[in-house]
A and B are shown apart, each in its own frame.
Chain A
């Protein structure tokens, strides 16, 4: 079966995100007021072949833990969809 994983990777809350800070400045200059905070991460899509959702999940876990995210500085969240239904 084909699955699609939608993965979000974000800098840990306690870590300063200079990119987000710079973008917040840009938003202020644009005139978008009352933005309290901006944090920037990554969105990654994987298309995976797996026997079932559980196996797809295992693969996504391994990918996130070992390569896609660095758990010292980031955390990840994901959702897995059956590709046909997408």
Chain B
């Protein structure tokens, strides 16, 4: 395969569209005036400034990444400067180590444990201050979340809660075990856009977009 020269200044952020919370991320990008693109084929990686790997079931996305040979174009685009953000399942797929399982992409030196809090009855919401990301407190939604157990020296920890890490990054990769796309806050999407050097055409100063509610994603999946 001939490696294409990637133009990361396209201003487009892709969302890996194999399974999971694709519409929710697309909706947040639209709120910031960022062009989003669903990524499903090798050619969809062309000229992406960044890629979001959404929440979903990591074992399912893992399988689909391999069988349709999306993995190699993804890794190639990453080498050429495409930044990647993984939420929940996405964070698991990006990790170098997964407790009891094979790692998938291994792009950030963290060890994660899948489904580390228990069943759906243990899913929860909270909030935290993350000064690097936003001046205000950020709402956090954890759904059957993994935990980041430890991180190597190349990794900067953005949020630690008790004995686990909830958000971290290295130069190219951002991981969060919670779901900013399931809250009214666009702070993390703005933060990732800045990491990709993509400018937001709509600048929401407030931490919460008051137009958001838990049905907002449905506008990307209307029947009629």
Q: Do A and B associate with each other?
A: no
| Chain A residues in the interface with B (C-beta under 8 A) | none
